[in-house]
Amino acid sequence: MANRGNTHKKWRSRLVRAQNGRCYYCSRKFDEDDSWLHSTVDHMQPLCLGGKNTVMNYVAACKRCNVLKGNEGYKSFMAFWKNAWHMMPDDPREMISQMMKENRE
Ligand SMILES: [Zn+2]
């Protein structure tokens, strides 16, 4: 597992190219700066939900979608955001703290 970082880097650039430089979930163009639209490698089905650590389970997602998706499976994430992409905040921190508060109550 020592070269996991390198492997991820390699797959990230391949996935970004395969997806025309756009996020798998929200279709926004990736930003090369270290912003919320920076590209990340996401496991469509999280490992903790039985997803496999294989290429078939990888997509390139912006940091924002990756963070908002959290450990939900992509299906529930997509179902939730399908009609609400325009409501997705550029900076998800506010929404995440709100969601965490609601989960606690
Ligand atoms: Zn996105």
Amino acid at 10: K
Q: Quote the ligand 1 centre to 61 CA distance (angstroms).
A: 5
The model's pLDDT over 1-35, given as tens digits with 9 standing for 90+, comes to: 445 667 778 889 999 999 999 999 989 999 888 78
Residue with tokens 């920076």: 38
Ligand 1 geometric centre to CA of 41 (Å): 11
Amino acid at 49: L
The answer on pLDDT for 68 being more than 70 is yes
Which residues lie at CB < 5 A from ion ligand 1? 23, 25-26, 62, 65
Q: Identify whether the C-beta of residue 64 lies closer than 8 Å to the C-beta of residue 88.
A: yes
pLDDT at 41: 93
Contacts of 43 (CB under 8 A, 6+ apart): 51, 53, 57, 58
50 CA → ligand 1 middle, Å: 23
Report which of 51, 17, 22, 15 is spatially closest to residue 37, judged by C-alpha positions.
22
The rounded distance, in Å, linking the Cα atoms of 9 and 40 is 9
Question: How remote is the CA of residue 37 from the centroid of ligand 1, in Å?
Answer: 7
Cα(51) to centroid(ligand 1), Å? 20
Q: For the chain, list the domains and their CATH numbers.
A: 4-104 (3.40.1800)
Could you give phi then psi for residue 7, rounded to 5 degrees?
A: -60, -45
pTM: 0.77
Q: Is the pLDDT at 60 greater than 50, yes or no?
A: yes
Average pLDDT, the chain: 84
